[in-house]
Protein backbone atom coordinates (compact mmCIF):
# COMPACT_ATOMS: atom_id res chain seq x y z
CA UNK A 1 0.00 0.00 0.00
CA UNK A 2 2.92 2.29 -0.58
CA UNK A 3 0.74 4.11 -3.10
CA UNK A 4 -0.91 5.92 -0.17
CA UNK A 5 2.31 6.84 1.66
CA UNK A 6 2.65 10.34 0.23
CA UNK A 7 -1.04 11.11 0.81
CA UNK A 8 -0.84 9.95 4.43
CA UNK A 9 2.41 11.84 5.04
CA UNK A 10 0.62 15.01 3.93
CA UNK A 11 -1.90 14.77 6.77
CA UNK A 12 -0.53 17.08 9.47
CA UNK A 13 -2.67 15.86 12.36
CA UNK A 14 -1.16 12.55 13.56
CA UNK A 15 -4.53 11.31 14.87
CA UNK A 16 -6.16 11.97 11.50
CA UNK A 17 -3.27 10.29 9.72
CA UNK A 18 -3.56 7.23 11.97
CA UNK A 19 -7.33 7.00 11.47
CA UNK A 20 -7.06 7.33 7.70
CA UNK A 21 -4.28 4.75 7.60
CA UNK A 22 -6.41 2.41 9.72
CA UNK A 23 -9.31 2.64 7.26
CA UNK A 24 -7.16 2.22 4.14
CA UNK A 25 -5.25 -0.71 5.66
CA UNK A 26 -8.46 -2.41 6.76
CA UNK A 27 -9.90 -2.19 3.24
CA UNK A 28 -6.68 -3.51 1.71
CA UNK A 29 -6.71 -6.50 4.09
CA UNK A 30 -10.44 -7.22 3.69
CA UNK A 31 -10.42 -6.79 -0.08
CA UNK A 32 -6.92 -7.66 -1.32
CA UNK A 33 -8.22 -7.97 -4.88
CA UNK A 34 -8.92 -4.22 -5.00
CA UNK A 35 -6.27 -1.96 -6.49
CA UNK A 36 -5.20 0.95 -4.25
CA UNK A 37 -4.82 4.09 -6.39
CA UNK A 38 -4.46 7.84 -6.03
CA UNK A 39 -6.62 9.88 -8.42
CA UNK A 40 -7.40 13.56 -8.09
CA UNK A 41 -5.10 13.56 -5.04
CA UNK A 42 -7.49 11.19 -3.24
CA UNK A 43 -6.94 7.59 -2.07
CA UNK A 44 -9.27 5.19 -3.84
CA UNK A 45 -9.78 1.51 -4.47
CA UNK A 46 -10.65 0.14 -7.90
CA UNK A 47 -11.66 -3.23 -9.29
CA UNK A 48 -10.87 -4.14 -12.91
CA UNK A 49 -10.37 -0.43 -13.63
CA UNK A 50 -13.66 0.72 -12.13
CA UNK A 51 -14.06 2.90 -9.03
CA UNK A 52 -15.24 1.12 -5.88
CA UNK A 53 -14.68 3.62 -3.05
CA UNK A 54 -12.67 6.76 -2.40
CA UNK A 55 -11.80 9.07 0.47
CA UNK A 56 -10.90 12.66 1.16
CA UNK A 57 -10.14 14.46 4.38
CA UNK A 58 -11.44 17.69 5.82
CA UNK A 59 -10.82 19.55 9.06
CA UNK A 60 -13.77 17.90 10.81
CA UNK A 61 -14.26 14.59 8.99
CA UNK A 62 -13.26 11.86 6.58
CA UNK A 63 -15.39 11.99 3.45
CA UNK A 64 -16.27 8.54 2.12
CA UNK A 65 -17.32 8.50 -1.52
CA UNK A 66 -18.87 5.23 -2.71
CA UNK A 67 -20.91 6.90 -5.54
CA UNK A 68 -24.47 8.18 -5.27
CA UNK A 69 -26.16 4.83 -6.05
CA UNK A 70 -24.48 3.31 -3.03
CA UNK A 71 -25.16 6.27 -0.72
CA UNK A 72 -28.84 6.10 -1.68
CA UNK A 73 -29.04 2.33 -1.19
CA UNK A 74 -27.45 2.49 2.29
CA UNK A 75 -28.92 5.82 3.44
CA UNK A 76 -30.74 4.25 6.41
CA UNK A 77 -27.63 2.37 7.54
CA UNK A 78 -25.56 5.53 7.17
CA UNK A 79 -27.99 7.42 9.39
CA UNK A 80 -28.08 4.61 11.95
CA UNK A 81 -24.28 4.73 12.11
CA UNK A 82 -24.59 8.40 13.08
CA UNK A 83 -23.01 9.76 9.91
CA UNK A 84 -24.20 12.71 7.85
CA UNK A 85 -24.35 12.32 4.09
CA UNK A 86 -25.06 14.12 0.86
CA UNK A 87 -26.00 12.57 -2.46
CA UNK A 88 -22.37 11.71 -3.21
CA UNK A 89 -20.53 11.29 0.10
CA UNK A 90 -20.64 10.28 3.72
CA UNK A 91 -19.06 12.36 6.49
CA UNK A 92 -17.43 10.41 9.32
CA UNK A 93 -16.36 12.88 11.97
CA UNK A 94 -12.88 12.30 13.29
CA UNK A 95 -14.23 11.61 16.79
CA UNK A 96 -16.79 9.02 15.60
CA UNK A 97 -16.00 5.33 15.48
CA UNK A 98 -15.55 3.84 12.04
CA UNK A 99 -18.42 1.50 11.17
CA UNK A 100 -16.35 -1.11 9.36
CA UNK A 101 -19.37 -3.36 8.79
CA UNK A 102 -21.05 -0.53 6.88
CA UNK A 103 -17.91 0.05 4.81
CA UNK A 104 -17.78 -3.66 4.09
CA UNK A 105 -21.41 -3.75 2.92
CA UNK A 106 -20.94 -0.74 0.64
CA UNK A 107 -17.73 -2.10 -0.86
CA UNK A 108 -19.25 -5.55 -1.43
CA UNK A 109 -22.28 -3.93 -3.06
CA UNK A 110 -20.11 -1.87 -5.40
CA UNK A 111 -17.96 -4.85 -6.36
CA UNK A 112 -21.02 -6.89 -7.28
CA UNK A 113 -23.01 -4.06 -8.81
CA UNK A 114 -20.09 -2.94 -10.98
CA UNK A 115 -18.83 -6.41 -11.94
CA UNK A 116 -19.60 -5.76 -15.62
CA UNK A 117 -18.82 -2.04 -15.57
CA UNK A 118 -16.30 -1.02 -18.23
CA UNK A 119 -15.90 2.62 -17.16
CA UNK A 120 -14.33 4.16 -14.07
CA UNK A 121 -17.61 5.75 -12.86
CA UNK A 122 -21.12 4.34 -13.19
Q: Residues 28-55: pLDDT tens digits?
A: 999 999 999 999 999 999 999 999 999 9
CA dihedral (17, 19, 21, 24) in degrees, to 10, reads -140
Which residues, 6 or more positions from 31, have their beta carbon under 8 angstroms from its beta carbon?
45, 52, 107, 111
**For the chain, how big is the Rg over CA atoms in Å?**
13
Note the pLDDT tens digit of each residue in 90-105.
999 999 999 999 999 9
User: What mean pLDDT comes out for the span 106-113?
Assistant: 98
Instruction: Return mean pLDDT, the chain.
Output: 96
Does 5 score more than 80 pLDDT?
Answer: yes
Does 1 score more than 80 pLDDT?
Answer: no
Burial 53-74 (b: 16+ CB within 10 A, else e): bbbbbeeebbbbbbbeebbebb
Tell me the pLDDT band of 63, cut-offs 50, 70 and 90: very high
- Angle, helices 14-30 vs 100-113, to 10°: value is 50
Q: What is the pTM of this model?
A: 0.95
Tell me the pLDDT band of 60, cut-offs 50, 70 and 90: very high
Domains, the chain, with CATH or none: 2-108 (3.90.1150.200)
C-alpha to C-alpha distance for 113 and 83, rounded to whole angstroms: 23
Between strands 42-47 and 50-57, the pairing is antiparallel
Amino acid sequence: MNVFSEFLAGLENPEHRARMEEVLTWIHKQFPQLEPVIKWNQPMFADHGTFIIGFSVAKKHIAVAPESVTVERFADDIGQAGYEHTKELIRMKWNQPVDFSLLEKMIEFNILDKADCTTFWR
